[in-house]
Amino acid sequence: MAKWWGPKLAYDVIHQCLLCFGHGGYDRGPMEQRLRDVLGIQIGDGTAQIMKTIIARVRAGRKNVPA
Ligand SMILES: Cc1cc2nc3c(=O)[nH]c(=O)nc-3n(C[C@H](O)[C@H](O)[C@H](O)COP(=O)(O)OP(=O)(O)OC[C@H]3O[C@@H](n4cnc5c(N)ncnc54)[C@H](O)[C@@H]3O)c2cc1C
């Protein structure tokens, strides 16, 4: 769950920073790039849905958690 939560928290924090700077945060500066970076972390190495499915299968058994 830490693997899911870390990138989600990073995304939420950077999103708030970007909004704080308004249009300047959206089209200039490093924040727009950082937001894309953390989006990539949320997809690469397994999306949250897949990670949660794997955890649920370990906890509840594969036959109880279909694909
Ligand atoms: C920045 C970045 C770096 C990457 N680096 C690497 C790398 O070094 N090596 C490498 O091999 N790959 C790499 N990838 C690819 C990455 O592993 C895949 O993008 C990732 O596994 C998701 O696969 P997909 O893009 O085909 O999405 P899909 O599998 O098509 O998923 C699309 C959506 O459907 C959902 N979904 C899919 N299946 C299910 C299911 N059974 N149940 C519920 N929801 C589901 C997903 O959660 C997602 O929201 C990278 C991707 C990114 C973005």
Q: In the predicted model, what is the mean pLDDT of residues 14-21?
A: 92
Angle between helix 2-20 and 48-60 (nearest 10):
150
**Residue 21: DSSP 8-state:** T
CB-based contacts of 65: which residues, under 8 Å, 6+ apart?
A: 53, 56, 57
Q: In whole angstroms, what is the distance from residue 65 CA to residue 53 CA?
A: 7
Tell me: pLDDT of 2 over 90. Answer: no
Span 6-23, average pLDDT: 92
Q: Is the CB of 66 under 6 A from ligand 1?
A: no
Average pLDDT over residues 2-29: 90
Do residues 35 and 11 lie in contact, with contact meaning Cβ atoms separated by under 8 Å? yes
* Residue 49 Cβ < 6 Å to ligand 1: yes
Q: Which of 27, 5, 32 is nearest to 17 (CA)?
A: 32
25-54: pLDDT as tens digits: 888 778 889 999 999 999 988 899 999 999
The alpha carbon of 45 and the centre of ligand 1 are apart by a number of angstroms equal to 7
pLDDT in tens, 54-67: 999 999 999 999 87
Give distance in angstroms: CA of 57 to centre of ligand 1. 19
